[in-house]
Structure formats: structure tokens, C-alpha cells
Chain A
Amino acid sequence: QVQLQESGPGLVEPSQTLSLTCNVSGGSISSGGYYWSWIRQYPGKGLEWIGYIYYIGTTNYNPSLKSRVTMSVDTSKNQFSLKLTSVTAADTAVYFCARELHSSGYWEVDFWGQGKLVTVSS
């Protein structure tokens, strides 16, 4: 059973960079076939897909966030990371890391982390 756990600061100042890491256990990021993604949930409970990274470093970001997002992967540590720059209060959310499957015609998330609340405030 794959398990994912988010870690990082729970409070970020406006205009700064949000940085989160997801540690994966129970499966290897390098095994291929899966994409490693970030999804956030706003206080009003709506979900927004941020993007994914493949173990070789290929990325795909939500166009609405693309200019501010960078994802990276560290296969030696079996973890992947998210950086979101120039944050504002609108970026306050619970951030989930997840494992997704994606191919032509289908997309799904089969495992999620428990989520990390990140508040943007001075």
C-alpha cells in the first residue's frame, strides 16, 4: 500500500515562496507508470489540480498556475517537491500530494496524502 506524507511550513508570508515535500513509502517513485502530483483544497472545499511530475523529471502544470509553479523529484530519497512563488492569501489551502495515473482518455488519483494546511499571512 502506497503512502504519501506532506511536510513543510504551515505559514508563509505574502510574496514569499511556498515549499512542500512529499515523502513516498510502500512503493518506488522510480518504478514508472505513475505520475506524482499536487492538488490543493480551498477553505470553501473546492479542489484544484496543481500539476504532476514523472520520475524522470517531466512535468505538466495547470496553466492557471504555471508561471509560479516548479516541481522536482528526488528518486534517491523517494520524494518529490512543490514550489509556488509569489504567494498571496488566495493560495491559502490544504495541499495534498498524490499518485495519479494519466493517459489518453483517462485520469485518476489512486493514492493521496492526508494534506498539509498552508496559510499565507504576515
Chain B
Amino acid sequence: QSVLTQPPSVSAAPGQKVTISCSGNNSNIGNNYVSWYQHLPGTAPKLLIFDNYKRPSGIPDRFSGSKSGTSATLGLTELQTGDEADYYCGTWDDSLIAAVFGGGTKLTVL
């Protein structure tokens, strides 16, 4: 059971947009920045978003992040088949004194 809650799966057609939610509480998302990761099984996960909405160099602006209260959202626009992957949110939890993650969301581009 993951500390942060994500939908198990989302899907959309190529060229469309999708959002992935990440829900927590005041000990984690409510009091700390959120980061998002893209993971293709068998490869190294990739940092997509940090500090709630910032993108590392090389990450296209089709990827966006936002946070409100104890929830965060990852947005993807102009979907491509290459975006099919598992997406995870992560943050620090002040009560658990540990980093915590969501259970992951599998994105399917139909």
C-alpha cells in the first residue's frame, strides 16, 4: 500500500492530453515539493518534474506539473506512443521521516 495515491492506469489517443493525479496529506505533499518520474520497465527511471512544476533540461514542455494543497497533478499533452510508461509521484514525508512514492500509473496511448 503506497503512501501517495495514484490511479492505476490512464489512457488517451495520440495527440490528446491526459492528467495523472497524486494524492497525499499534510505530512507529505501538503508540506513538501513533489517530483514526477517516468519509468519504462528494464530502464532507469527518469526525472520529469521537480519542485512541483519545474522541468529538468531536456524534458519537453509537453510535460507539466502542478500542486494544490495535498494533491499534485502531472499533465501530458500531444501524446505520443513513446510516452507509454509507468509514471510515479514522489515527495518527502515529515511524519514517516522518509521519501514516499505513489503506486504508479500506467499510461497507455491507444
Count A-B contacts at CB 8 Å. Answer: 73
Residue of A nearest to B49 (CB): A108
**B4 to A: closest C-beta gap in Å:** 10
Residue of A nearest to B98 (CB): A62
A106 to B35, CA, bound (A): 9
Q: Check B18 for interface membership: any CB of A closer than 8 A.
A: no
Q: Check B24 for interface membership: any CB of A closer than 8 A.
A: no
The listed residue (B2, B32, B37) touching A109 by CB distance below 8 A is B37
Chain A residues near B45 (CB, 8 Å)? 96, 109, 112
Is there contact, CB below 8 Å, between B92 and A102?
A: yes
Residue of B nearest to A3 (CB): B44
Residues B86-102 near A (CB distance < 8 A): 86, 88, 90-92, 96-101
Is there contact, CB below 8 Å, between A64 and B98?
A: yes
Given contacts A47-B90, A107-B92, contact A112 B100 (CB under 8 A): no
Chain B residues near A64 (CB, 8 Å)? 98
Chain A residues near B42 (CB, 8 Å)? 114-115
The listed residue (A39, A62, A105) touching B31 by CB distance below 8 A is A105
Q: Check A46 for interface membership: any CB of B closer than 8 A.
A: yes
Classify chain B's interface size.
Answer: 20 to 34
* Other 12 A-B pairs with CB < 8 A, given A49-B101, A102-B92: A39-B99, A45-B103, A48-B101, A49-B98, A96-B44, A105-B33, A106-B50, A106-B92, A107-B99, A113-B44, A114-B42, A114-B44
B residues apposed to A, CB below 8 Å: 1-2, 31-33, 35, 37, 42-47, 50-51, 56, 86, 88, 90-92, 96-101, 103-104
Q: What are 29 A-B residue pairs whose CB atoms fall within 8 Å in the complex?
A: A45-B86, A45-B103, A46-B101, A47-B2, A47-B88, A47-B90, A47-B101, A47-B104, A49-B98, A49-B99, A49-B100, A60-B97, A62-B98, A96-B45, A102-B92, A105-B32, A106-B92, A107-B32, A107-B35, A107-B91, A108-B50, A109-B37, A109-B90, A110-B47, A110-B56, A112-B45, A114-B42, A114-B44, A115-B42
